[in-house]
Amino acid sequence: MQPDIRYARNDGVAIAYQVVGEADRDLILVPDFVSNCVYHWETPYYRELYERLAASFRLIVFDKRGTGLSDRGGAGWASLETRMDDMRAVLEAAASERAVVLGGAEGGQMAALFAATFPELTAGLVLFQFEARGAGADSPEWHQTQAQLHRWGTQGLADEWLAQICPTLLRSEADRVWFANHLRTGASPEIGFALNEAYYASDVTDILSTIRVPTLLLYRGELVRGAAEEAAAAITGARVEALGGSDYWGMFLSPEIVDRLEAFAATLEVEPQPESVLATILFTDLVGSTAKAAAIGDRGWRDLLADHHARVRRELARYRGVELDTAGDGFFARFDGPARAIRCACAIRDAVAELGLELRAGVHTGECELLDGKVAGIAVAIGARVASEAAPGEVLVSQTVKDLVAGSGLGFEDRGVAELKGIPGEWRLYAALVA
C-alpha cells in the first residue's frame, strides 16, 4: 500500500512528502534531480529501496520544490538555499528532531549545505555519487546538455541519457519507458532545464570544510571516485566507500546501500550541541555619516538614525535575518542562507536611500563559532572586510556566496580580486545586481 501524501508549507509553497516506517531513527532522502512521490511507489525499483529503508529507519521522502507533486512557488528556479529551507520545513512537519540526511547525486549539494547550516538537525550525512561542483555555466558539458534539454521527456532523449548514465536500464523496453516517465512525472520541460542549469552553475566546495557531522560518501564506478575522495578529504572525519556496479545513476541499483546505511547509523551517537555552524554574515555601514550629522545637528541626526534603525530592522525581519550587533550606524546580522542576505542588503540600501542616506554592505558565507547565541570567527572578519571594500550604494559579496546562489535569479558584476586586511590570500568579489 502506498503511504499517504502530506504537504509541508514553507513561505506559502506546498512541498509534498511521505513518512514510512516506525523506527526510532529518522532518515530523510534528498532525491537526485527529479522525483514523484506517487510514481516512485509504482515501480519495483524505488518501492523495494523505500521498503528496505523503512524497515530500519523512519523514512521521510519528498519532492523538491517545482518537481513531482510540489508547488513551484513563483517565477524562476529555486536556489539551493530555498530548497534547503523547504527540507527543513518537511522535517518540522514530520515532527523530526534529528535525521540522517541521504543525498543522491544532484541532491547531494543540498544535503551537504543542510548539514553544514543545520548541524543540530542532522544526525549524520550520507552522500551518494556526490560532486561538489557542477561543470560550470560556460562548460562544454553544459552547452551539450543545454542543446539536449529542448527534448526533455521524450523517449529519444531518455534513451540517450540512459546510454550515458545507466546502461543497465537501457537493456529492457519496460525500463526505458519507465525512465522516460520518471523524467516526465518528475518535472516539466521548463523545470528540467532550470534544474540542470542551476546544478551546472552551483559549487559547494567552500562549505565542505564547515561540515561537522559524521559523514559517509558512497560512490559507484570510476566517474565520480575522484570527486568523492576529494570531498571526503575536505570534510573532517569523513569516510568514503565504493559500491558494486558501474552505472552512474540509480541509487536503487546498489542493494548493499541499505546495509551501508545501517552500519553507518549504528556508529552514530547522540551529539552535543554544535559549536560551529555555516552562516551567512551581513555587515552594513552608512557612508558619510559624520558629515551628515554635522549638517543636521545632534537632535536631527538622532531622529534620522532612529528611522534608519527601524527600516533596517524591518527588512531583517522580512528576510529572517538575526540582528547580532549595532555599532553606531552599522548593522551586523546573521542569515541561514546567502540569497536572503543579499536581497535583504539590497532592500535595506533602497529603504534608507528614501531618507537621503547611502550605505555600503558586505555579505560572506562561512563557518562561524557559536558563543551564547552570537557568532564569531574568521568568517565574521571576512564579512566585515568585504563590506569595507564596497563602494557607496554597493552590496558586495564573496565568491563563496556567488557560487551558492546559482539559480536564484540574482545577478553579479565582477569586481576583481582584493586583498582583505588581516585575511590571508586574495578574494574575488562581486557586486550584487538585484532588480
Q: Which domain holds residue 359?
A: 276-433
CA geometry: angle at 341 spanning 337 and 342, to 5°?
120
Q: Scan for cell 563557518, then name that residue.
A: 367
Residues 299 and 257 placed together within one structural domain of the fold: no
β-partners of residue 308 are none
**Domain contains 155:** no
> How many residues in the chain?
435
Q: Note the Cα 271 to chain centre separation in Å.
A: 23
**Domain contains 188:** no
Q: Cell for 386? A: 568585504
Listed residues 266, 288, 304: the one ending a domain: 266
Predicted local distance difference test score (pLDDT) of residue 79: 84
**Domain contains 386:** yes
Predicted local distance difference test score (pLDDT) of residue 409: 82
C-alpha pair distances (Å), 226 with each of 20, 63, 115, 208: 34, 29, 22, 15
In angstroms, rounded to a whole number, what is the distance separating the alpha carbons of residues 435 and 425? 32
Tell me the pLDDT tens digit for each residue of 64-123.
999 999 999 876 677 889 999 999 999 999 999 999 999 999 999 999 999 999 999 999
Residues 310 and 226 placed together within one structural domain of the fold: no
**Domain contains 320:** yes
The sign of the torsion formed by the CA atoms of 121, 123, 127, 131 equals positive
Q: Cell for 355? A: 531618507
Residues 291 and 408 placed together within one structural domain of the fold: yes
Predicted local distance difference test score (pLDDT) of residue 271: 62
Listed residues 248, 266, 284: the one ending a domain: 266
Residues 350 and 249 placed together within one structural domain of the fold: no
What does DSSP assign to residue 329?
T
**Whether 308 contacts 357, CB under 8 Å:** yes
Farthest-apart Cα atoms in the chain, separation: 81
In angstroms, rounded to a whole number, what is the distance separating the alpha carbons of residues 357 and 349? 9
What does DSSP assign to residue 94?
T
Q: Note the Cα 137 to chain centre separation in Å.
A: 18
Predicted local distance difference test score (pLDDT) of residue 76: 66
Residues 224 and 306 placed together within one structural domain of the fold: no
Predicted local distance difference test score (pLDDT) of residue 6: 97
In angstroms, rounded to a whole number, what is the distance separating the alpha carbons of residues 48 and 388? 55
Residues 246 and 349 placed together within one structural domain of the fold: no
Low-confidence ranges of the chain (pLDDT < 50): none
Residues 116 and 255 placed together within one structural domain of the fold: yes
Domain total in the chain = 2
Residues 6 or more apart whose CB falls under 8 angstroms from that of 293 comprise 301
Residues 235 and 124 placed together within one structural domain of the fold: yes
Tell me the pLDDT tens digit for each residue of 43-68.
889 999 999 999 999 999 999 999 99
**Domain contains 359:** yes
Residues 217 and 281 placed together within one structural domain of the fold: no
In angstroms, rounded to a whole number, what is the distance separating the alpha carbons of residues 224 and 244? 14
**Domain contains 140:** no
**Domain contains 17:** yes
CA geometry: angle at 319 spanning 317 and 320, to 5°?
60
Q: At what angle do helices 189-201 and 106-117 cross, to 10 degrees?
A: 60
Q: Cell for 307? A: 528611522
**Domain contains 189:** no
Listed residues 238, 266, 294: the one ending a domain: 266
The CATH number for 88's domain is 3.40.50.1820
β-partners of residue 8 are 15
Residues 243 and 386 placed together within one structural domain of the fold: no
Residues 248 and 331 placed together within one structural domain of the fold: no
Residues 24 and 121 placed together within one structural domain of the fold: yes
The CATH number for 372's domain is 3.30.70.1230
